[in-house]
Structure 1
Amino acid sequence: MTAVDRTAIAGSGVAAMAAAILLAEAGAQVDVFEAKPELSALGSGITLQGNALRVFDRLGVWEAVRDAGYVFEGLNLRAPGPGAPIVAELPDVKTGGPDYPAAMGMYRPDLARILFERAEQLGVRVHWGSKVTGVEQAGDVVRVEVNGEPAGEFDLLIGADGLNSTVRGLIGIETTPEPTGMGIWRSFVSRPAEVTRSELYYGGPVYIAGYTPTGEDTMYAFLVEKAQDRVGVDDDQAARIMLEESQAYQGPWEQIRSDLAAGAHVNYTWFTSHIVEAPWNRGRVVIIGDAAHSCPPTIAQGAAQALEDAFVLGELLTSRDTLDQSLWDEFHARRIPRAHAVVEASVQLGRWQIEGDRDADAPGLIFGIAHKMAEPA
């Protein structure tokens, strides 16, 4: 029993592929339309909290994800300056429950590959180089246009096509991501043996410096700065900027700088935030994941929230036989307050950094949200 037989999904990120897996597993026909020409082989790392790992288990990929990444417990805070002393060792809340680690890091392309292979195994049809460009609804039918041409009729279209979602605009939702005032440099580098959990440095020339282990020999490092126009910065210039901005940080940063000097790839993005108020659907078209909400990665809940969107939507669609208003009401009741809490807390943490508020209770806010996330979506 499913509420839909044929579903189209725009995008191929974690929200898109999770929704595809859940629907295909229940016997629905699923077509994924991705504008990119192929599965991306580029990227840095990603931090995944326990509530994300819980969803991976439901998708049947937890063991593959665990084996491809690096699980850990807790968070270290270090001080800038000589020796980079550890000033606090914070425990993590097990947001996925006692059966899963508190957190893990992994290489983003590995996660994309694992989800794609699971979806393909279940019969999901993924169309690369295929951008959803038009939507028309007529009764219980959604007519989808891809690359300017008709692509078929579906019972549902899920817009999981990211921050700059085309589907969001096609259904008349005007809310879009706004910059928060911070930008982040990221690089995928080798892991020193001493790095066994995420570590953050507050203070110094940037807002936050840190790194997260992603494998036995790898991790990703990042520097969060005041957002700047970095358009046109080439790879060599990007590496030089990270080298210069990280000089105040010692400890494992010494090895990170060696990797940067040797040519480690660097990318740069701005932090954004937004949340679409209810409803996220217009008829039989709905947006989830980054299309519906985004926030700075200050509490590392972005991927988890996208996965929870897909999980809740998939659970409702596969446990009912009708796509009606009561389904949408339950979906919004379970997802929007939770996503709101994460977005607001993530933005607040960044704002405190920008304002230099040393009296702010950042640990209290982080742990408060973690305890909320420990309750299943």
Structure 2
Amino acid sequence: MSTPRTVLVVGGGAAGNAVTILLRRAGVAVDLIEAKDDWNATAGSGITLQGNALRVLRGLGVWERVRACGHGFDAVGITAPDGTVLHVAEGLRTGGDDLPATVGMRRPQLQRVLIDAVRASGARVRLGTRATSLDQDAQGVSVTFTDGTANRYDLVIGADGLGSTTRAAIGITARPEPTGMAIWRVAAPRPAGVTRSDLTYGGPAYIAGYSPTSATTLYAFVVEAARDRVSIPPESYADEMRRLARGYGGFWPEITAHITDPARVNYTWFDRMLVQGAWHRGRVVLAGDAAHCCPPTLAQGAALSLEDAWVLARMLTSAPSWDDALLRAYYERRIARVKPVVEASVRIGQWQLDGARDADVPGLMGRTMTMLREPP
């Protein structure tokens, strides 16, 4: 019997968890390390998962739990700042006709679903652990860890997010760059009439929106021009978001009444990054936000990360050898799909920053989402 292949996955977010589950299913020995002791199990307010993300989650075997935890819907409303509904667009089912166009859910619940699946897969998980060195040759990678231990792997997958230390360690110099926008997010009780995402363009901010995340909850967000984060003390977060949200009507007054705890409000800049040329160096390869990130104007961040994991795992488990040609083919397959999404997401935000009056936002969204209906 041949020795099982061994993989180290760095990072326990969407991409890292998903690729771990898939590789373990194929019999690959996987160690997963995550820098945070809590495995990001409580961070975040809400997340919008488009159909192409749901397609991967179904492939991971967790779709039924996701459906039970979240709220599926097939339309997006466009409203005026006063709450008047201007248009309701049917969402494109990018995951196929048998999946909703969108599921909203609380981000910690999605993380818990994936954590449980990783645990059940039999992967060895080490929390509060980082890799301190990656020394590789043609046969594998020798890794040392922050606790002083070391191990050797056939492949290392860097899925450690925007600030990826794996990316830096292998000499890829790309870094996230701010786009000029920032977002306030909060989880709140869901008004009875909210059954879909509603978006408002204009008013006190560039965008104000909300998405249901369960039968009783939603997450709301307001997008504005990026401000110096140092100038906004965390204890003022609720006041700042509430000030912007008060300029909107419809369901917003009911939502705004619950924006009271600054610890539950998140403020984040929009970033962009796309590693081009290759996502690997030797036997270390990137996936998810470590390789690309974009503003959430198309709600595709998690979806693209999950797709990376799906494609990489399928290519690794079907290839007789893990060589440069295979990892190059992974990059070429993904860049053709990821690049248009990153560019479209950034362009939509830039149109708003520029105040472009002739911008074809619906057309660009439609073309991009139609492309994503094809399997990755």
TM-score interval, normalised by the smaller of the two chains? over 0.9
Percent identity over the alignment is 48
- Which residue number in structure 2 is paired with residue 30 of structure 1? 30
The match for 2:16 is 16
User: C-alpha deviations, 1:116-168, integer Å up to 9, x for none?
Assistant: 11111110111000012211102211011221734300000000000000000
Q: CA 1:283–1:262 in structure 2 vs 1: closer, same or farther (change >3 Å)? A: closer
Corresponding position of 1:58: 59
Is the 8 Å Cα contact of residues 72 and 197 (structure 1) preserved in structure 2?
A: yes
CA distance in 2, matches of 1:156, 1:4: 12
| Contact 1:3–1:322 (Cα < 8 Å) also in 2 | no
- With 195-204 and 225-234 compared, the bigger mean Cα shift is at 225-234
The answer to whether the Cα contact below 8 Å between 1:3 and 1:323 also exists between their aligned partners in 2 is no
Confirm or deny that 1:118 pairs with 2:107.
no
Q: How far apart in 1 are the matches of 2:4 and 2:321?
A: 8
1:41 equivalenced with 2:16 (yes/no): no
Question: Could you report, residue by residue, the CA deviation over 1:12-47 in whole angstroms, capped at 9, with x for unpaired residues?
Answer: 000000000000011111111111012331320000
Q: Secondary structure at the match of 2:257?
A: helix
SS in structure 1 at match of 2:184: strand
Q: TM-score, normalised by structure 2?
A: 0.97
Which residue of 1 is the match for residue 326 of structure 2? 327
Distance 1:166 1:2 in 2: 32
When the two structures are superposed, what TM-score results if normalisation uses the length of structure 1? 0.96
What is the match of residue 72 of structure 1? 73
Which moved further from structure 2: 218-227 or 137-146?
137-146
Task: Read off the aligned partner of 2:53 and give its amino acid letter.
Answer: A
- One-letter amino acid of the structure 2 residue matched with residue 61 of structure 1: V
User: Structure 1 residues 236-245 or 214-223, which shifts more?
Assistant: 236-245
* Residue in structure 2 matched with residue 311 of structure 1 by the alignment: 310
Residue by residue over 1:207-226, the C-alpha shift from the partner in whole angstroms, topping out at 9 and shown as x without a partner, is 10001110000010001010
Contact 2:71 2:103 in 1 (8 A): yes
Most deviating of 227-236 and 334-343: 227-236
Alignment of 1:1-377 (within 5 A): 5-39=5-39, 40-81=41-82, 84-147=83-146, 149-231=148-230, 233-261=232-260, 265-377=264-376
Deviates more, 1:269-278 or 1:33-42: 33-42
Matches of 1:57 and 1:3 in 2, distance apart?
30
Pick closer, same or farther for the CA change 1:358–1:317 going to 2, 3 Å: same
Give the partner amino acid of 1:75: V
**CA distance in structure 1 between the aligned counterparts of 2:115 and 2:16, rounded to whole angstroms:** 10
Shift of 1:4: 6.8
Contact 1:190 1:217 in 2 (8 A): yes
Local SS of the residue matching 2:229: coil
Q: 2:231, 2:225 → 1: CA distance? A: 17
- In the alignment of these two chains, the number of paired residues is 375
Counterpart residue identity of residue 41, structure 1: T
Q: Residue type of the partner of 1:10? A: V
Letter in 2 for 1:69: G
**In structure 2, how many angstroms separate the alpha carbons of the residues matched to 1:355 and 1:70?**
34
d(CA) in 2 for partners of 1:329 and 1:322? 13
Q: Which amino acid aligns with 2:176?
A: P
Residues of 2 paired with 1:307 and 1:293: CA distance?
12
Change (3 A) 1:328 1:255: same
In the alignment, the residues of structure 2 paired with residue 353 and residue 221 of structure 1 have an alpha-carbon distance, to the nearest angstrom, of: 19
Distance 2:310 2:346 in 1: 24
Please identify, of 178-187 and 247-256, the stretch whose mean Cα deviation from structure 2 is larger. Answer: 247-256
Where in structure 2 are there 5+ consecutive unaligned residues?
A: none
**Which amino acid is 1:7 matched to?**
V
Instruction: Give the Å deviation of 1:293.
Output: 0.3
The 1:114–1:232 alpha-carbon spacing in structure 2 relative to 1, beyond 3 Å, is: farther
Cα deviation 1:230-257 (Å, max 9, x = unaligned): 2364554111111111121011111111
- Tell me how far apart the structure 2 counterparts of residues 369 and 309 of structure 1 sit (CA, whole Å): 17
CA distance in structure 1 between the partners assigned to 2:296 and 2:87 by the alignment: 20
Aligned partner of residue 339 in structure 2, secondary structure: helix
Contact 1:95 1:371 in 2 (8 A): yes
Deviates more, 1:186-195 or 1:1-10: 1-10
Output one character per residue of 1:62-110: Cα deviation in whole Å (capped at 9) or x when no partner.
11111110100111001013xx100111111111011111011111111
What is the CA distance between 1:332 and its match in structure 2? 1.7
| Residue pair 2:142, 2:151 contacting (<8 A) in 1 also | yes
Unpaired segments of 5 or more residues in structure 1?
A: none
The DSSP-based 3-state class of the residue aligned with 1:149 is coil
Superposition RMSD on alpha carbons, in Å?
1.6
Pair 270,263 (structure 1): closer, same or farther in 2 beyond 3 Å: closer
SS of residue paired to 2:142: strand
8 Å CA contact 2:7–2:157 kept in 1: the answer is: yes
User: Following the alignment from structure 1 to structure 2, what is the Cα–Cα distance between the partners of residues 280 and 263?
Assistant: 38
Matched AA of 1:70: H
* Structure 2 counterpart SS, 1:225: strand
